[in-house]
Amino acid sequence: MPILTITELHEKLKAGTVTCVQMVEHYLSRIKAQNESLNAFITISEEYAYEKAKAYDRIIADNPNAFSEFPLIGVVVSIKDLYLTRGIRTTAASNVLSDFIPQYSATVVQRLEHAGAIVIGKTNCDAWAHGASGENSDFGASRNPWNTEYVPGGSSSGSAIAVASDMSLVAMGTDTGGSIRQPASFTNLVGLKPTYGAVPRYGVIAMASSLDSMGHFTHTVEDSETLFSVTRGIDERDSTVKNVTYEPFDTSKTIKIGIPKEYFSEGLDPEVEKVVRAAAEVFKKMGIELVDISLPHTKYAISVYYIVQPAEVSSNLGRYDGVRYGNGRECFGAEAKRRIMLGTYVLSSGYYDAYYGKAMKVRSRIITDFKEAFSSVDAILAPVSPTTAFKLGQKANDPLQMYLADIYTVAANLAGIPGLAIPGGFASNGLPIGFQLLGNHFSESILFELGKRYQKVTDWHTKQPK
């Protein structure tokens, strides 16, 4: 089946050329054919998906306002296995929670289902979202559908694979340091990391609470905007969510895009740089002004991130003691143990000021850099990853090299700003390359506008793995 957008799916459902049940059958057949080789799903909710599909088919037949009342009706979605799903196993891809079945669903999952989406399963990820490759799952490594010898990116690996290989129309992920944008870039998808405080975190297993953002994968920017409109907004159970009114973007406005020199320095693969520069030229031909900018504290972002994030990880994982639910701490994997030890160390007496306290001060400088940049530009264009997808096992035994895979993405999480990854081309080895647009806090509408303009004149997002 060719790639469908949400709009195209709804046109088919309205015309009666497909039904919700048939869409579930299609995606389940794809899962059964591919999941063994790609390892995208941990749990498949077949019976649950059919039950929902039948109910929505009845609504479409009986309710003339079905598509306005249910903006995602019939949309099959896969959910990263950090989101709690009532009655459906949720593991965080860790043996600690291998048999855990939640009694309630995350706010985001509730909103998706209230809008008519059909949950087809829970996707594989690096355990506890600790990773940049999809290799740290206790349920086995995931594989890139463009070349199964390569990683799909992480930690939201299974969600990216599910959409890229047509096992669901859209998918939910989480982005703590690039865990949506990087796998989106590696698998030729659109990946949104919203502003911190735009989408509720309630009911999502925490990795690093001041960095976690709930986002998603789609084929088009238009679909990403639709999902964002459903999932965002205040939640009385999450005090970090801001009550923000998103105004339609003023299309008559002159737009400026900043090009940060720090993102085009030593270590950037020439093929990646070529794709990002080409994307900048596409925007320039549209009449958008390109402005050279500087983000001077970017060079400290990865160091700050790998102090702040493990510190928050050590705190969040402390609740998994095997007493109230789940298995004992002996079930933690190597990466979880590494981050717990790092985090406990930087928070310990005598080291707090030297490491964590200093990192938080530099984090403030990074936030200030972005604020100053957005006083003169509307968005920032940058690479997502310094390289294309790397081979399975290539960095598995070198944590430092694995951590450096996040070098272009972590700054956005530290600053709490939104980022949108967009397919931009391919490397000579046939693997996808994406670029990212970064915006000021709660400026998703500008990123969506730029992304939609880009996809109107390019067709990279229509390419599918063989």
Burial 184-199 (b: 16+ CB within 10 A, else e): bbbbbbbbbbbbbbbb
- The residue-averaged pLDDT of 44-73 equals 98
What does DSSP assign to residue 356? I
What is the number of alpha carbons within 13 Å of residue 307 lying toward its C-beta?
A: 20
Q: Which helix (H) or strand (E) holds 80?
A: strand 76-80
Closest C-alpha to 135, from 39, 207, 44, 218: 39
Average pLDDT (356-370) is 97
- Which residues have a catalytic role annotated? 80, 155, 179
pLDDT digits (tens, 9 = 90+) for 131-189: 999 999 999 999 999 999 999 999 999 999 999 999 999 999 999 999 999 999 999 99
Residues paired with 381 in a beta bridge: 437
Neighbours of 80 (CB within 10 A): 33
Structure tokens at 193: 């990391």
CB 118, CB 389: distance < 8 Å:
no
Residue 247: the pLDDT is 86
Task: Note the pLDDT tens digit of each residue in 103-136.
Answer: 999 999 999 999 999 999 999 999 999 999 999 9
The CATH number linked to 110 is 3.90.1300.10
Evaluate whether residue 317 is within a structural domain.
no
Residue range(s) defining the domain that contains residue 437: 6-299+360-462
**Does residue 353 lie in a domain region?**
no
pLDDT the model gives residue 11: 98
In a domain, 249, yes or no: yes
Residue 276 domain-assigned (yes or no)? yes
What is the rounded end-to-end Cα distance, in angstroms, of the chain? Answer: 12
Q: Is residue 446 in some structural domain?
A: yes
pLDDT band at 400 (very low <50, low <70, confident <90, very high): confident
State the pTM of this model. Answer: 0.98
| Per-residue pLDDT tens digits for 455-464 | 999 999 999 9
Report if residue 350 sits inside a domain.
no
Average pLDDT of the chain is: 96
Q: How many structural domains comprise the chain?
A: 1
Indicate the residue type of 394. Q
In a domain, 334, yes or no: no
Q: Report the pLDDT value the prediction gives residue 403, as an integer from 0 to 100.
A: 81
Q: Is residue 123 part of a domain?
A: yes
Given a contact cutoff of 8 angstroms between Cβ atoms, the answer to whether 382 and 408 are in contact is yes
Q: Is the pLDDT of residue 259 over 80?
A: yes
Beta strand 170-175 with 76-80 is parallel
